[in-house]
Structure 1
Amino acid sequence: MRKFKQSSRVAAAAASLALVLGAPLAANAADMMDHFWSAKPTGTAWVTGYGECWRSTQGPNDLEPCVKPVPEEFVVRLNFEFDKYNIDNVVNDAELARLDDYISDVNATQSREQLTLVGHTDARGSDSYNDTLGLNRANAVRDYMVSKGIPASDIVSVESRGKRDMLPEFDVFSVKQRRVTIRSKVEG
């Protein structure tokens, strides 16, 4: 009997201690959840504290899909091999990957873009030849973007600057001069 009373006291003390320590932890856990995810003010989606989409298997299924915001202006410089203009001749794969990520983000939004593509060359060759080469580069990038889902109507300008508008920080014959610059602005 003495063992039973002693065990009961230990169990009661442990339960009291758990209750005293556990209550603040439960309250803190609830407070922490408010910092990790919440409803957007419009009530259209749940997002984490980092702004990422939160989907629940038990929650409502009629919410609009979460999308990443598209930057107000996006600039990418795709550099080409000498005297080449096909997308396969882009030498800076990291910029092409940035363009692919951008295209995915744009395709996931409902906003429309206004894109301007400008082809450039290095200083070799005549003005006429370089204007044509720059335009071929810009058109190749336009075709690539359209093949990835960008509406052709979003590309408002495709032009060439040839060997005009050199980047002053690079040699005039540098691969950095052989580029297509893409500028994007969100409509509205």
Structure 2
Amino acid sequence: MTKQLKLSALVAAMVLSASAFAAKPGYTADQSTDAVTRNNYGECWRTNFFDKATQGLVECGDAVAAKPAPVAPVYSKEKVTLSAEVLFDFDKATLRAEARNELDPLVNRLKNDRNLRSVEVAGHTDFLGSDSYNQALSQRRANAVKDYFVAAGVAAEKVVAVGRGETETKMTQECEAKKFKKRADLKACLAPDRRVEVTIETVKTVVQ
């Protein structure tokens, strides 16, 4: 009877030991807490079957903690279209006094945007006039808006001005098809082509 009890106790001990090993492969562990058993020096207690290549634990110094996932930048763009009719007199590149009503809200936004990456100010004209003249006019207008932004406190290194002249007109075909007899009517029809587009690029970050 005594031998049978000893045998049962031994089997039970082996089962508990196996359970402890299974909880933390390669280490002995407290079955109730699942914590690795440590010696008097605070070192993890490894079994004879310990394999550092496959069973090492970071908490025991046998493995290196996984590095955080790399962070990739994510960019977003928004285009704000401003009418040149509001910003400038016809065929001029000097900002009108009323232009501040359109530009100041943008200035405040750009100055306070910590994620601001870049601002592109693009000038556009209608097709009236020569290509070279329209190109130069659109550049002067873009420069005028850029200078306003920078003077108001937007970081100069983030703002670029480009003139696109009549290369991106939208109303030419439609307005010519109407065959206006008066040039003033044609000019009014083409108003949407005379514009300044402000493209705002911001950067955000996400974990891959």
TM-score, normalisation: structure 2: 0.47
Could you tell me how far 1:73 is from its partner in structure 2?
1.9
Change (3 A) 1:159 1:124: same
The secondary structure found in structure 1 opposite 2:96 is helix
The secondary structure found in structure 2 opposite 1:86 is coil
1:120 is matched with 124
CA contact (8 A) 1:85 1:140 kept: yes
C-alpha separation in 2, matches of 1:102 and 1:126: 32
Alpha-carbon deviations, 1:115-138, whole Å to 9, x = none? 111111122111011100000000
1:160 is matched with 163
C-alpha separation in 2, matches of 1:74 and 1:163: 18
Q: Counterpart amino acid of 1:73?
A: E
Alpha-carbon deviations, 1:37-89, whole Å to 9, x = none? xxxxxxxxxxxxxxxxxxxxxxxxxxxxxxxxxx9524132313321111117
Q: Counterpart amino acid of 1:97?
A: N
Which structure has the greater CA radius of gyration?
Answer: 2
The secondary structure found in structure 1 opposite 2:121 is strand
Change (3 A) 1:89 1:101: closer
Indicate yes or no: 2:85 matched with 1:81: no
Identical amino acids, percent of aligned pairs: 30
CA contact (8 A) 1:76 1:181 kept: yes
The secondary structure found in structure 1 opposite 2:164 is strand
Alpha-carbon deviations, 1:87-110, whole Å to 9, x = none? 1177xx5xx534311221222232
| 1:5-154 alignment runs, 5 A limit | 73-79=78-84, 80-88=88-96, 97-154=101-158
Can you give the 5+ residue segments of structure 2 that lack an aligned partner in the other structure? 1-75, 176-185
1:3 is matched with none
C-alpha separation in 1, matches of 2:101 and 2:203: 24
C-alpha separation in 2, matches of 1:87 and 1:106: 19
C-alpha separation in 2, matches of 1:180 and 1:97: 15
